[in-house]
Structure 1
């Protein structure tokens, strides 16, 4: 059967990325952050604050998964939940000062990940790979 290795390569790429992230987090002394927190941090760096539904939708995670991620980040003081003024039952999530202070490390790690890819592929190849991977997962 052709193309059996595609998912294997995708899995290995994810494992290599996670290993890199964990190593860089450890070097930065951030032992309470996991690679899975990256999407939450990224979205909050961009938006400032979001309600839980917006955060789940944009992160493409279930609400229960997102709640678990936010709870862990909140426990370590990186985010806080605040009442949603537009919805009395709703909650918004925003970065604390400690969370905002993660941005330089977050950018450095993201740049490092990108450099790994661009050290192996041309810019055009990376663009094509990104397009093809998006096509595979965005149905």
Structure 2
């Protein structure tokens, strides 16, 4: 692949869309007083829908390595958003769940999600947005790490 072709490759487009999307989400969050980066908000969203997960389960859902997730979790715990507990039956197993403080920002995160959705629809239209959902779902469902 030529260097010029790489700039316009799927690899490049997906990477740049991710960066711009995270920037947009984080900027909207800052406007509303949330200083967490997208990675931290993603953990809060996952825990909101799953209530309580082991570190192993959370790491799998995030698609990140254990050391990265541990670092993210430690910061969220220090800021009072989540709580870690050891399993009663297996002390090697750590569970993560949201604390009440997280509830204060959940509605705002959902609001930002709606704004993001509206922005995408504004740029590419409703039909292409639905197609984008289908394509992304297919990629996620079939991408085995």
Q: Give the ranges of 4+ consecutive aligned residues of structure 1 lying more than 6 Å apart after TM superposition.
A: none
Structure 2: gaps spanning 5 or more residues: none
Which residue of the partner structure matches residue 33 of structure 2? 29
CA RMSD of aligned residues (A): 2.1
Paired residue secondary structure (2:123): coil
* Partner Cα distance (1:99, 1:117) in 2: 27
Match of 1:64 among 51, 62, 67: 67
Query: What aligned pairs does 1:1-139 form with structure 2 within 5 A after superposition?
Result: 4=6, 5=8, 6-31=10-35, 33-136=36-139, 138-139=143-144
Q: CA deviation at 1:127?
A: 2.5
How many residues are treated as equivalent by the alignment? 138
Q: CA deviation at 1:135?
A: 4.6
Q: What's the TM-score, normalizing by structure 2?
A: 0.83
* Partner Cα distance (1:86, 1:46) in 2: 24
Q: CA deviation at 1:122?
A: 2.8
Question: CA contact under 8 A between 2:121 and 2:129: conserved in structure 1?
Answer: yes
Q: CA deviation at 1:57?
A: 0.8
Q: CA deviation at 1:136?
A: 4.8
Q: What's the TM-score, normalizing by structure 1?
A: 0.86
